[in-house]
A = this chain, B = another copy of it.
Amino acid sequence: MERFIQHISNTLSISDHHLEMVLGKLVEKHFAKKEHLLYFENYANELYFTLKGCVRTYVSDYNGVEHNISFSIENWWSGDLQSFINRTPAICNIQVLEDTTVLAINQANWDFLIKEVPEFVSYTRVLFRNKMFSQQNRIVQNLSYTAEERYNFFLDEYPDVAQRIPQKHIASYLGITPEFLNMIRSKRNRIDSTLYS
């Protein structure tokens, strides 16, 4: 909880009273490694702020192949926004990759905060905006760069994520197979080691 207070205070200034209102609507929940927070075609009733642990959001294609859309570690939100906001069946699955603690907010509480707490409106506007920008950047990257370049960008941008999740999930996020990611990595290692010889 302390972590979330820190986080929202860093984003914008909020009155103590309003902060209390927000905190009152968040519920701490625990999930064991591999548990699902949401399954495809269910309704997303909650969004989640990660306090400790790691969450992945993914879709399954018509061949049953999973594609990771995003990861959220500490201080990041996750959830199927499209389902949550439009009240439509989820297109995403959401799963925990480690034992994880989140703050959950349900739709009723969300709507309440949007109505009653102007800072919450600003806060979510910033969140959505940043999400939109990062999504556009990802689209551009997918169009402009090779898998190897995208992998390097990923390591630069999310070093703390890259260190704690299995390679196969990174591959899936990048849109390549684990085997090919491995080829990229072993090529990097060969080059790296020649730097020391």
Interface residues of A (CB under 8 A from B): 59, 61-62, 65, 67, 69, 81-82, 85, 91, 125, 128-129, 131-133, 135-136, 138-140, 142-145, 172, 175
> Nearest CB to that of A131 among chain B residues?
B132
* Residues of chain B within 8 A of A91, CB atoms compared: 140
**A88 vs B168: C-alpha distance when bound (angstroms):** 35
* Residues of chain B within 8 A of A133, CB atoms compared: 81-82
**A136 vs B131: C-alpha distance when bound (angstroms):** 10
Q: Establish whether residues B128 and A132, one from each chain, have CB atoms under 8 Å apart when the complex forms.
A: yes
Question: If A129-B128, A142-B142 touch, does A136 touch B69 (CB 8 Å cutoff)?
Answer: yes
Choose one: B61, B65, B67, B132; the contact of A132 (CB below 8 Å).
B132
Choose one: B61, B81, B82; the contact of A144 (CB below 8 Å).
B61
Q: How far is the CB of A39 from chain B (nearest CB, A)?
A: 16
Q: How far is the CB of A129 from chain B (nearest CB, A)?
A: 7
> Nearest CB to that of A61 among chain B residues?
B144
Task: Knowing that A62-B144, A81-B132 touch, tell me 20 more A-B residue pairs with CB under 8 angstroms.
Answer: A59-B143, A61-B143, A61-B145, A65-B144, A67-B140, A67-B143, A69-B136, A69-B140, A82-B136, A128-B128, A128-B129, A128-B132, A131-B132, A132-B135, A135-B136, A135-B139, A138-B139, A139-B142, A142-B142, A143-B172
